[in-house]
Structure 1
Amino acid sequence: MATTSSQAIPGTAAASKGIDRTHRRVIFASSLGTMFEWYDFYLYGSLAAIIGKQFFAGVNETTAFIFALLAFAAGFAVRPFGALIFGRLGDLAGRKHTFLITIVLMGVATALVGVLPTYESIGVAAPVILITLRLLQGLAVGGEYGGAATYIAEHAPPGRRAYYTSWIQITATGGMILSLVIILFCRWRLGEAFEAWGWRIPFLLSIILLCISVYIRLQLEESPIFQEMRVHGKLSKAPVRDSIGRWSNLKLVLLALFGAMAGQAVVGYIALVYMNLFLTQTLKVDPATSNLLVAGALAAAAPFYMLCGRIADRIGRKPQVTLGCVIAALTMFPIFQGLTHFANPAIETAQATAP
């Protein structure tokens, strides 16, 4: 979403030494909605193996799992379009209204997965509807994450934008942890029934989270920068064209997309999503154990988002993003080798003897 560069915001002088009450409310409301939205989005990835059995039952188990992952990937494929659609809407109609649309879209799509008939009940219509819902989820997340970051950044004092927006990633991680905790609780209470029908419960609980999030976001006001731009008639009438219709701007978009975002997205989703699947499907770790390990890793990483936000405000974004990608590139393979060694030594031995 388009914003102005660094205009003064009322009350930011006091906030320069700490987050004041007004800014805490803004961060809380924006980030909490992001938490609920990522809870919804992460459920599918965590339950991909079960979803494959339920909705792609017309093929063997391995193929069904691959189809389930492809449906998960469909949500990622449309996220850029969600960013364009809702980013444009946010620049024209305001951040608050866009927030409400994305959270409702995400919550409804997730709840519908919880009541969707399986392949055995309605045949090929089941995976078709599932993929459609995944596409809606992807559109919603594409608009939500950038919108929340823009909204908080427009409230942030100069020199503290990275720290303020780091809270979005913390609560997004919180949403992922919440989804894993609820899955673990349902597995524990329901036992074998979880794979039969209990997997629907975490999806249906998104209705409660949706109501809470909508109520909180209704209390928000438009950001001061957006209000000032609207009062002075400085809002873009064609934000998409202004952003990517001219090479000078498009070049910056492409640099940010492939230079900054692509690398960290690969690292992030390998660590956040694929790790769980690798443990359960490849290394055959018990799902409950895998969920506990991933939830613990997410919780341990959360405080570092704030720390890195503070550092980025001091040294800049570019050095930190570059360093993070380099560290990930150097450590990713050793981490997976270590997981294989400790979780399933037999696979490590098989790889060594018959590569």
Structure 2
Amino acid sequence: MNHPAPAVPAGRTKHRSSARSVLFASSVGNFVEWFDFTLYGYAASAIAATFFPSGNQVAALLGAFAVYGVAFVARPLGAVVFGRIGDRRGRRTALGLSILVMGGATAAIGLLPGWSSVGVLAPVLLLACRLVQGFSAGGEYTGAMTFSVEHAPDHRRAWYLALVGSSTWLGAIGATGVVLLFRSLTGDGFQTGGWRWPFLIGGVIAVAGLLLRLRVDETPVFQAMARTQQPARPFRELLRGHWRTLGILFAYFAVLGLFTHTFLGYLPTYLVEATGFSPSTVLWLTTALNILTIPAGLWLAILADRHGRRVQIRIGALAAVLLVVPAYLLIGTGNVVAVLGALLVFLFAVSLLSMGALSVLEMYPTQVRFSGMALPYNLAYAVFGGTAPLVSQLLVEGTGSLLAPAFYASVVALLALPLLLRIPETRGADLRS
């Protein structure tokens, strides 16, 4: 005898649809941000050849990496502007503005004239676009995380954070896939103009993201706060009442930013120089690892929701101190299996440390949550994240040792370790209090 399938309550269907909308809307801007940063790293040699004078390849590459890092200088200003908007006017308003600005700047890079056309104006225009991208990124990642976590059920915050965080790696994977596609379609023409198309595609994705964000509601946590409190002066409150927390979080994001942007922005170039692998081999290898990071991060999120966040942060911090030099030694062997193991070490440390972003959000009251994450995140990424490719390349050129970037990363992680160990367990914290 057949029984009719039980009807799904209308409220449950609506909830699931709302959750999907929130996650897509939160993730798409983060996807575009990391799509661009990864794309810039993979196209660094083509960008150097296009926007800087020919004749000195090392100087041109250093110039391209310098522009990569300078974009991070604008991120703290973006954190102040978008953090204030997010804490006073709402998370959704800040996210809509940030993705609009980001998409325009990303697409513009694909249209800029090169050195052969306008001379010194070419790198100046590239720098301007990167500064605008950095400004918009100052509110993007932190806003997306705040928005998703404040929408999440209390017992699934790590899961929501991991789903949105996976858009970081999806952005990197998307950039890698697009670069591989256009390399295969254009061949040697990728260096002379084929690299522009991926940036235009990033602009189109940003427009789609803006439309998604306009269709979702403000977070319940912010709405509840807005009904009972006057808009905060977030940065004044942070500096008066949370300055110790800001210091701890600066150290945390310094380590996370250095390792993340070393992996995404510098290691593709380093692998070619240190191992002799072809650029295509490096792209395929890093793409496979980025894909692997997504299920690993989701699994760690399940553990964090069940057992807490602090143990993962501590293990990740210790890995950052102890394993980075051995990882670079493995890369130096040129053996594919050894190189794969070294890259897994980087992803292991970054994946574990990433759960600290949830602790950051759970440590603050609602009226300063957006700004309280945006300020230390963007300051630390400006100093350590954005400069990672440039500093690493300068250390190699200055010392003649391919291990110099490894010792730099280890020392930064070691100095930050005492503060990272002080991040408290925040599982079960009430976001509304």
TM category (shorter chain) comes to 0.7 to 0.9
Q: Call closer, same or farther: CA 1:81–1:281 in 2, change over 3 Å.
A: farther
Q: Call closer, same or farther: CA 1:226–1:351 in 2, change over 3 Å.
A: closer
TM-score of the superposition, structure 2-length normalised? 0.71
* Match of residue 150, structure 2, among 151, 154, 175: 154
What is the aligned partner in structure 2 of residue 5 from structure 1? Answer: none
- Report percent identity of matched pairs: 33
What is the aligned partner in structure 1 of residue 68 from structure 2? Answer: 72
1:218-297 matches, cutoff 5 A: 218-236=214-232, 238-244=233-239, 246=240, 248-258=241-251, 260-297=252-289
Alpha-carbon shift at residue 75 of structure 1 (Å): 1.7
* Match of residue 331, structure 2, among 336, 339, 342: 339
Q: Call closer, same or farther: CA 1:351–1:88 in 2, change over 3 Å.
A: closer
What is the aligned partner in structure 2 of residue 130 from structure 1? Answer: 126
Q: Call closer, same or farther: CA 1:174–1:52 in 2, change over 3 Å.
A: same
Answer yes or no: is the 8 Å Cα contact 1:109–1:134 preserved in 2: yes
Task: Give the whole-Å Cα distance in 2 for the aligned partners of 1:343 and 1:273.
Answer: 22
Alpha-carbon shift at residue 34 of structure 1 (Å): 1.7
Alpha-carbon shift at residue 283 of structure 1 (Å): 3.5
Letter in 2 for 1:263: V
In the TM superposition, what whole-angstrom CA distance separates every residue of 1:298-346 from its partner, at most 9, and x where no partner exists? 111111111222222334333211211212332222222222212599x
Aligned Cα root-mean-square deviation (Å): 2.4
Task: Give the whole-Å Cα distance in 1 for the aligned partners of 2:146 and 2:33.
Answer: 16
Tell me the SS of whatever aligns to 1:111: helix
After TM superposition, the structure 1 stretch with the greater mean CA deviation from structure 2, 194-203 or 163-172, is: 163-172
Alpha-carbon shift at residue 211 of structure 1 (Å): 2.1
Tell me the SS of whatever aligns to 1:115: coil
Answer yes or no: is the 8 Å Cα contact 2:34–2:172 preserved in 1: yes
Letter in 2 for 1:261: F
1:43-122 matches, cutoff 5 A: 43-57=39-53, 60-122=56-118
After TM superposition, the structure 1 stretch with the greater mean CA deviation from structure 2, 110-119 or 263-272, is: 263-272
After TM superposition, the structure 1 stretch with the greater mean CA deviation from structure 2, 136-145 or 40-49, is: 40-49
Q: Call closer, same or farther: CA 1:351–1:264 in 2, change over 3 Å.
A: closer
Give ranges in structure 2 of 5+ residues lacking alignment. 1-11, 339-399, 403-433
What is the aligned partner in structure 1 of residue 171 from structure 2? Answer: 175
What is the aligned partner in structure 1 of residue 297 from structure 2? Answer: 305
What is the aligned partner in structure 2 of residue 203 from structure 1? Answer: 199
Task: Give the whole-Å Cα distance in 2 for the aligned partners of 1:30 and 1:68.
Answer: 30
After TM superposition, the structure 1 stretch with the greater mean CA deviation from structure 2, 29-38 or 118-127, is: 29-38
Alpha-carbon shift at residue 188 of structure 1 (Å): 0.4
After TM superposition, the structure 1 stretch with the greater mean CA deviation from structure 2, 193-202 or 162-171, is: 162-171
* Match of residue 317, structure 1, among 306, 309, 312: 309
* Match of residue 166, structure 1, among 151, 162, 179: 162
In the TM superposition, what whole-angstrom CA distance separates every residue of 1:247-292 from its partner, at most 9, and x where no partner exists? x31111111111x221122222222222112113443421111111
After TM superposition, the structure 1 stretch with the greater mean CA deviation from structure 2, 206-215 or 75-84, is: 75-84
Letter in 2 for 1:118: G
What is the aligned partner in structure 1 of residue 186 from structure 2? Answer: 190
Tell me the SS of whatever aligns to 1:196: helix
Q: Call closer, same or farther: CA 1:155–1:304 in 2, change over 3 Å.
A: same
Task: Give the whole-Å Cα distance in 1 for the aligned partners of 2:244 and 2:192.
Answer: 50
Give ranges in structure 1 of 5+ residues lacking alignment. 1-13
Letter in 1 for 2:236: R
* Match of residue 329, structure 1, among 313, 321, 334: 321
Task: Give the whole-Å Cα distance in 2 for the aligned partners of 1:57 and 1:128.
Answer: 13
Answer yes or no: is the 8 Å Cα contact 1:110–1:206 preserved in 2: yes
Answer yes or no: is the 8 Å Cα contact 2:95–2:144 preserved in 1: yes
* Match of residue 24, structure 1, among 20, 25, 44: 20
Tell me the SS of whatever aligns to 2:110: helix
Answer yes or no: is the 8 Å Cα contact 2:162–2:301 preserved in 1: yes
Answer yes or no: is the 8 Å Cα contact 1:40–1:106 preserved in 2: no
TM-score of the superposition, structure 1-length normalised? 0.86
Alpha-carbon shift at residue 93 of structure 1 (Å): 1.6
Alpha-carbon shift at residue 152 of structure 1 (Å): 0.7
